[in-house]
Structure 1
């Protein structure tokens, strides 16, 4: 179990606010898929909105925002190394170079 830093713990009101924000972002994601004028920008918009939701969930609901920096850094190292490892595996199978 991790040890928390001395910060005020979120209140139920904070959790409700985050849930409302997550709902709004999800509604925007669904709406973006139905707007034909956004064809070229659809994927980048969805990626940005998904990243925002990810950061909210990780920061608030997983309490990384309130943990010691060492725990947060361990999580971030894994988060950064995952796509690097994924890219290395794809390269080893020749999927990124078109062979």
Structure 2
């Protein structure tokens, strides 16, 4: 039993939000970016700037991955595969940093 093109398109479009939702997410991303720029100039926050920037980057990453990469609407297996890749990359990066700084850090550049 075959389905018509219209039925297939209707099923595909039913899983995606309205364009207004994408615009809302884009505005939120722009606001978070503006906050990041403001944080980079904030000297009063001192050592809190870097953790706040990391948190805002994670928020932006999640919004982009969920909405614009359509992971929110995809099969759970794709979300799991994506998260597995992210976790694996973080583990490899953490091991690399542990090895690098366990030996005293990166080699300093020679300056004249």
> Which TM class, normalised by the smaller chain length?
0.7 to 0.9
Q: Does 1:23 align with 2:30?
A: yes
Aligned length: 94
Aligned position for 2:42: 35
Cα distance in 1 for residues equivalent to 2:77 and 2:44: 44
Deviations 1:5-55 (A, max 9, x none): 9x6411110000000000000000000011111121000000000000000
Unaligned ranges ≥5, structure 1: none
Root mean square deviation of aligned Cα: 2.1
TM-score under structure 1 length normalisation: 0.85
Alignment of 1:59-98 (within 5 A): 59-91=66-98, 94-98=99-103
Question: Bigger radius of gyration, 1 or 2?
Answer: 2
Alignment partners' CA distance in 1, 2:51 and 2:27: 23
Report the TM-score when normalising by structure 2.
Answer: 0.75
Ranked by relative contact order (alpha carbons within 8 Å, sequence separation 6 or more), the top structure is 1
Tell me the secondary structure at the aligned position of residue 30 of structure 1. Answer: helix
- Structure 2 runs not aligned, ≥5 long: 1-10, 105-112
